[in-house]
Amino acid sequence: MCDNCTMVDYLIIGGGLTGLLAARELRLAGADVMLLERGELARESSWAGGGILSPLYPWRYPEPVTALADWSQRHYFRLVADIQVESGLDSEFIQSGLLIQATDEADQAMLWAEKHNAEMQRVSASEAAEIEPRLGQPTDGLWMPQIGQVRNPRMLQALIEACRQLGVQFRENCAVEELICQGGKVTGVKTAKGDLPARSIVVAGGAWSEQILAELDDGLEVEPVKGQMLLYKAEPGLVQRVVLSGGHYIIPRRDGHILAGSTLEYMGFDKTLTEQGRQQLQSAAEAIVPALAGVPIVNHWAGLRPGSPAGIPYIGQHPQIEGLFVSVGHFRNGVAMAPASARLLADLMLGREPIVDPAPYKWNV
């Protein structure tokens, strides 16, 4: 270990939403926390996504995903308000609702909503047109008025500043080369800039988590899944609601920007933008809201989701290595599940009563 490095209580590997919220939770509990990021803070999957605070077609997901998403939805408004107080920055939380068009799963969805006490309404095509007047071809569908969204790049900026104000230490452009373990316990990490000691380590490296854990027989199934997105610059108020149709969605921001997403591509760590992806997103968005056809597209980007079986994340301690924890594999719902994931991880690390049953997220090697 380097001579000038002070031992920290918790060292978190990964500067996305999952890692940042975990750092905040642990710091609020009074721990010394350092966060390492292989590149720039908050510039990967958390930045690239849409910020919808619900899984798409939520009834399709297994119960462990619903449990984390439900807890997060109930606490998001308070969380972003607290982060704004801590940072002075606005995450742009909007309760815009989620309108789901043209689904033949309405019966299944309503049973799910009743079971989970989720506010969901069947709507006719004419009612859908009243909810979002700019729809091109309104259809019968489902309306979830309580669903919110955050402008995730803004939330990440606010969260970074909140963590700084709370005293979290950051090291950017500091890739972890190896975990250091002695006597069945993790004691630190090797980086190109030197070794860093820690009493406990959290791997929250998103799609890169398998690389970080490469020397271990870790038992995790996490792979990169590319998603391309488009950004339109419209006048504020052109679209009011998040609309989901045929697996694609549009998300209106306060200032008129409208996100259109997203593709689902298994291409390894390749984030290359494609004309096919652009055309797919543009066609889908302008079918949902034809008025977008005259609106300029100002950005096109891609991110790598941390894919996992059934979208259930791994949250917890390595069964044989003391002090080594993970929070990885959130797939398409990292923003929707992040507050609960961070709270559950902190509960397990600090020996508190967990907010949900941790068993479904257990790290089995």
Higher pLDDT, 218 or 314: 314
Looking at residue 45, what is its pLDDT? 95
Same domain? 40 vs 153: yes
What are the DSSP calls for 55-113, one per residue? -SSGGGS-HHHHHHHHHHHHHHHHHHHHHHHHHS-----B---EEEES-S-HHHHHHHH
pLDDT at 3 over 50: no
Q: Which of 263, 292, 309 is the last residue of a domain?
A: 309
Angle of helix 334-350 relative to helix 63-87, nearest 10 degrees, comes to 90
Specify whether 41 is located in the same domain as 101.
no
Q: Are residues 123 and 228 in the same domain?
A: yes
Do 176 and 291 share a domain, yes or no? no
Q: Residue 364: its pLDDT value, please?
A: 83
Q: Name the pLDDT band for 4 (thresholds 50, 70, 90).
A: low
Q: What Å distances lie between residue 127 and 80, 141, 249, CA to CA?
A: 31, 9, 19
CATH number reported for the structural domain that contains residue 116 in this entry: 3.30.9.10
Tell whether 304 and 179 lie within a shared domain.
no
Within 10 A of 115 (CB to CB), how many other CB atoms are there? 11
For the chain, what is the domain count?
Answer: 2
**Residue 35 shares a structural domain with residue 117:** no
Same domain (yes/no): 35, 68: yes
Same domain, 168 and 280: no
pTM score, whole prediction: 0.96
User: Do residues 184 and 193 touch, judged by C-beta distance below 8 A?
Assistant: no
Mean pLDDT of 180-194: 94
At residue 141, the 3 state secondary structure works out as: strand
86-104 pLDDT tens trace? 999 999 999 999 999 988 9
pLDDT at 28 over 90: yes
For residue 114, count other CB atoms closer than 10 A to its CB.
10
Q: Judging by DSSP bridges, how do beta strands 242-245 and 297-307 pair with one another?
A: unpaired
Rounded alpha-carbon distances, angstroms, from residue 150 to 27, 92, 212: 23, 6, 29
Q: What is the CATH number of the domain that holds 332?
A: 3.50.50.60
Examine the domain organization and report whether 257 and 288 are in the same domain. yes
Q: State the average pLDDT for the chain.
A: 96
Side chain identity, residue 114: E
Write the CB contacts of 290 (distance below 8 Å, at least 6 apart in sequence): 134, 136
